[in-house]
């Protein structure tokens, strides 16, 4: 069973617009991570937010975490065509580093 | 610095054949993982290892075996391939500290006919 579920499944925006995607999970977590996957490639880590953090920034990325609602959001500001990819949230729930992934949000940014 | 390298990148197997996927990491990571990715389902954990000589089952271990004889290598074996094992397989590794990210290989696209 999947721990995380992303919403929406797909998102199409124009360059310069902001992209927001959400992730909901089921059980308590140690941290939540967001990854990007370009077509046909491996996953690349974007940002990690710990369970005791509420918001984190990295460049054009902003991640929020609401543990009371078991949800997180990823905001990409001023999107570029190069941001076209699938984005996955992953939760870490134990000390062995195992990550549980959602099904992902496919983002298409058109010039 | 290669990071996580998977071999091979593509493979077509006939039902019943066996094969081994190799994962190698050069970052001295303690933890290593094998995931499979199927359309619309994200990544699911097959097996993982928390150190040389150790292995453990993940979410979908049936039909797979693994070995970690050396710290830098994690092998995934299919003894008798089935069409349901058609998937993209990803290896990942990480340090054992709690708040650290995983590093992924480029994937192996396996088709079982």
Summarised one tens digit per residue, pLDDT across range A68-109 is: 999 999 999 999 999 999 999 999 988 787 899 999 999 999
Nearest chain B residue to A50 by CA distance is B99
Confirm or reject contact between B31 and chain A (CB < 8 A). yes
Q: Single out the residue of B43, B51, B54 nearest to residue B88, CA to CA.
A: B43
Distance CA B39, CA B43 (A): 9
The beta-carbon neighbor of A96 closest among B4, B31, B105 is B31
Q: Where are the beta strands (DSSP E) in B26-104?
A: 31-37, 43-49, 56-57, 65-67, 73-78, 87-94, 103-104
Strand partners, A63: A56, A74
Nearest chain A residue to B59 by CA distance is A1
Distance CA A45, CA B27 (A): 16
Residue owning tokens 């349901």:
B84
Nearest chain A residue to B60 by CA distance is A1
Residue A82: strand, helix, or coil: helix
Report the gap between the CA of B97 and the closest CA in chain A (Å).
Answer: 8
Can you read off the two tokens belonging to residue B7? 């071999």
CB contact under 8 A, A43 and B98: no
What is the pLDDT, as a whole number, of residue B42? 86
pLDDT tens per residue, chain B (113 residues)?
A: 689 999 999 999 999 999 999 999 999 999 999 999 998 778 999 999 999 999 999 999 999 999 999 999 999 999 999 999 999 999 999 998 888 999 999 999 999 99
Confirm or reject contact between B62 and chain A (CB < 8 A). no
What is the pLDDT, as a whole number, of residue B106? 96
Confirm or reject contact between B98 and chain A (CB < 8 A). yes
Phi-psi region of A82 (alpha: psi -120 to 50; beta: other; left: phi over 0): alpha
What is the pLDDT, as a whole number, of residue B1? 63
What burial letters (b/e) apply to A51-78, b meaning 16+ CB within 10 Å? eeeeebeeeebbbebeeeebbbbbebee
């Amino acid at each position: 069973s999947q721990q995380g579920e992303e919403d929406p499944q797909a998102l199409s925006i124009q360059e310069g617009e902001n992209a927001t995607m959400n992730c909901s999970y089921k059980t308590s977590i140690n941290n939540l991570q967001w990854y990007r996957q370009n077509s046909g490639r491996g996953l690349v880590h974007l940002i990690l937010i710990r369970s005791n953090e509420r918001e984190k920034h990295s460049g054009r990325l902003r991640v929020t975490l609401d543990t009371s609602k078991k949800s997180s959001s990823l905001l990409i500001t001023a999107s570029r065509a190069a941001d076209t990819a699938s984005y996955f949230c992953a939760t870490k729930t134990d000390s062995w580093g195992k990550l549980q992934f959602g099904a992902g949000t496919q983002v298409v940014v058109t010039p | 610095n290669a990071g996580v390298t998977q071999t091979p990148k593509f493979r077509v197997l006939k039902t019943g054949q066996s094969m081994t996927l190799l994962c190698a990491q050069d970052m001295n990571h303690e933890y290593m993982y094998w995931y499979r990715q199927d359309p619309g389902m994200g990544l699911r954990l097959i097996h993982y290892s928390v150190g040389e000589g150790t292995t453990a089952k993940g979410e979908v271990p049936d039909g797979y075996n693994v070995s970690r004889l050396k710290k830098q290598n994690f092998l995934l074996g299919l003894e008798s391939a089935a069409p349901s094992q058609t998937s993209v397989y990803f290896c990942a590794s990480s340090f054992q500290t709690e708040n650290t990210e995983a590093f992924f290989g480029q994937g192996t696209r396996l088709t079982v006919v």
